[in-house]
Chains A and B, each alone.
Chain A
């Protein structure tokens, strides 16, 4: 077990280091980070002023020295000051984390609470109209792009029926449309995966034995079949948590949700690179960290994994 944990931790470290290189490299995309940060302002400065700025920011040092300086500070959460907010970039991103977690958590619960039962119902009624309907729903959920679904929901529930708030955050009603939009894809995947997994288990001999013993159908499905069918589903569900926390950029933009994704998009528009670096690093570390936790949990629950 220890060897497995060590291997996964070292893999995580490599991924985070790669992300840090990409994040650091953002500033060097056009060659001169000083002019990138100054933008149009450089037009009104003399070359001497630009050189002073470059020296003050340490951009005149070798690339590798700058990278290790960035890394050592980033580990401590120091990405420098935001160029627009005039306070630590990490603080700008961090204050948005609760909104992203809230939305991600609601979407996660929705994708599990609706996706798994949908898959079970679909499997137990294989070939019926309910099954066809559920799978059509799952197909749509996986194939409809989130920006399209989001706008569609806004038009129906926000503009025509006027039963839900369209954008922003405030009440529990504000969660409904963004959470449904964000949950659509993982919900559909959970439903499909649960269905196929339950179908496979329902043909096992212990299920037949349970039925032969006279266990009621609900008990057969939920107590005997579902428990075993859930093992692959749990793995995928765990991995979704990272996706829901990191993949909400589009949904946050559509619904004006004040989360980390929108902060990154806004910072890209403002050329606020310290905030972009802090946001990208935070999201990737979250994603990798959640995946690691899920893997460890899975290995703990299913000891066979450790030897693979």
Chain B
């Protein structure tokens, strides 16, 4: 047999094999989309643990909220509503009493009663004191002292100091009741991968680093309409969007604004957006450049930043500028974003004694130029590095020279430690929601660890102290509104926006995003 004949046969066999593969594979179901009763959700990172007290990551929490429930919870508009507790009341300044819904059980049949709540909270307190788990942040805020069982359905939670926010903290996944018998007798590794909660879904499969599969728990009173949820980690954005376009996924998170048209061009998916609760700001350090200690300079920086144009051109018009640091529902509607006004900015800088040097086009005072360093992460927040470049360019127009340095998040976050000791004069940072006005405003309170600018204002601190001893929700809101007015005037930061969260959603899925970044599918359904 000649070489040519043999080569021809090889080519022919190869071609036939390829043709057969192309014909057979689409019909084989291997690359077919999700089953009709299954929603596939793609997240950017692995689900590591489903033990609520050992995780603080959003990827874990998104799954955890389907398996566990909390005494209180936030509804879709971030209002605090009953969860496992049907009511709660303040007994004294340190003690809150919660009444549980009767007849509830865990997925293994153990009763969900006051004792289960006491056991779980005290277990978490023990973890906190032993520096185990990931509960440091939550239990620092909760300041938990004791938990007392009054009767089978009544439990009293006592904090070490007066705490008006206890009901709010009870909406955190790190207060989710766990079944006492099972939890005390099961090794941690099993609790992490085969958790038993009281939520509407139970875990049926946990393949580490690959997928978590949840199925409806039929005994839950809420009866969700989607039977199975499959959570998969897909770290690369382009791959997540390809899965969505191919019809293999129903929900993907973090769609970049510049890829919105690409998603909307597909017939399989759409983009859903919501103004999130993550506040993106430029922090202005008070201990570095002397100009930033002057309120007029800080105001001028806000006037010089053309936020609206940036929203339109850089962020596809999918966001709104802001002049406040507090999340819904406590936002003061009277406080508007700083308008873009170069003349006013220049006037304020002149008044503050920073005069333009026509030779360098940079303002100076006593020979010291108004040059600021700006540290920015890349890829942590939407268009973070690009936003820094825009602001630097805008400030340059009024004679403020900004040197932008961009860092990978792992490096940037190290700079933020020790109250931002590693940052230069200014820095872009995002801050998640505190779910309460006072918690949100820790960002600029003098003793707060998250006040990386070391900002301090006597007017603001007086209101802060007043709020700390206020328990009446109406009074707290009134103080909160006044604090926002003070902060607008003080301009402790360059206000940017509440980051819009963008999700790619399959056309068959009926689902609305929430402002708190949680992917909650309890009420979702297929068309």
Contact = CB atoms under 8 A, between A and B. Distances in A.
B236 A256 contact: yes
A87 B190 CA distance: 12
A158 B247 CA distance: 10
A214 B415 CA distance: 75
Interface in A260-293: 262-263, 265-266, 268-271
Interface string B415-445: 1111100100000000000000000000000
B31 A165 contact: yes
B242 A44 contact: no
Interface stretch (A3-11, A32-40, A186-194): A32-40
A85 B137 CA distance: 18
A216 B3 CA distance: 9
Contacts of B57: 84, 270
B329 interface: no
A164 B3 contact: no
A171 B409 contact: no
Nearest to A124: B3
Contacts of A173: 25, 30-31
Given A30-B422, A85-B48, A258-B210, A159 B246 contact: yes
Interface in B228-247: 232-236, 238-239, 242-243, 245-247
A45 B25 CA distance: 57
Contact of A44 (B131, B189, B449): B449
A128 interface: no
Nearest to B235: A253
Interface string A154-169: 1100110111111111
Contacts of A29: 414
A269 B45 contact: yes
B243 A171 contact: no
Nearest to B28: A173
A164 B22 CA distance: 9
B31 A269 contact: no
Contacts, number: 135
Given A95-B208, A161-B22, A171 B414 contact: no
Contact of B410 (A155, A169, A271): A271
Chain B: number of interface residues, binned into ranges: 35 or more
B457 interface: no
Contacts of B236: 253-254, 256
Interface in B33-66: 45-46, 48-49, 54, 57
B417 A38 contact: yes
A303 to B, nearest CB: 35
B210 A36 contact: no
B144 to A, nearest CB: 15
Contacts of B247: 162
Contact of A42 (B26, B30, B418): B418
Contacts of B273: none
Contacts of A158: 31, 242-243, 246
Chain A: number of interface residues, binned into ranges: 35 or more
Interface string A86-107: 1100000001100100000000
B414 A36 contact: yes
Given A164-B25, A173-B25, A266-B45, A42 B417 contact: yes
A21 B393 CA distance: 42
Interface of B: 3, 6, 21-22, 25-26, 30-31, 45-46, 48-49, 54, 57, 131, 133, 136-137, 140, 188-189, 192, 208-211, 232-236, 238-239, 242-243, 245-248, 409-410, 413-419, 422, 449-450
14 contacts: A39-B416, A40-B449, A43-B418, A87-B189, A151-B238, A154-B238, A159-B242, A167-B234, A173-B31, A256-B232, A258-B46, A258-B208, A268-B410, A269-B45
Interface of A: 29-30, 35-36, 38-45, 53, 84-87, 95-96, 99, 151, 154-155, 158-159, 161-169, 171, 173, 216-218, 253-256, 258, 262-263, 265-266, 268-271
Given A29-B414, A87-B189, 20 more contacts: A30-B417, A35-B418, A40-B449, A42-B417, A53-B131, A85-B49, A86-B54, A154-B239, A159-B245, A162-B31, A164-B31, A165-B30, A167-B234, A167-B239, A217-B3, A256-B234, A256-B236, A263-B209, A266-B235, A269-B45
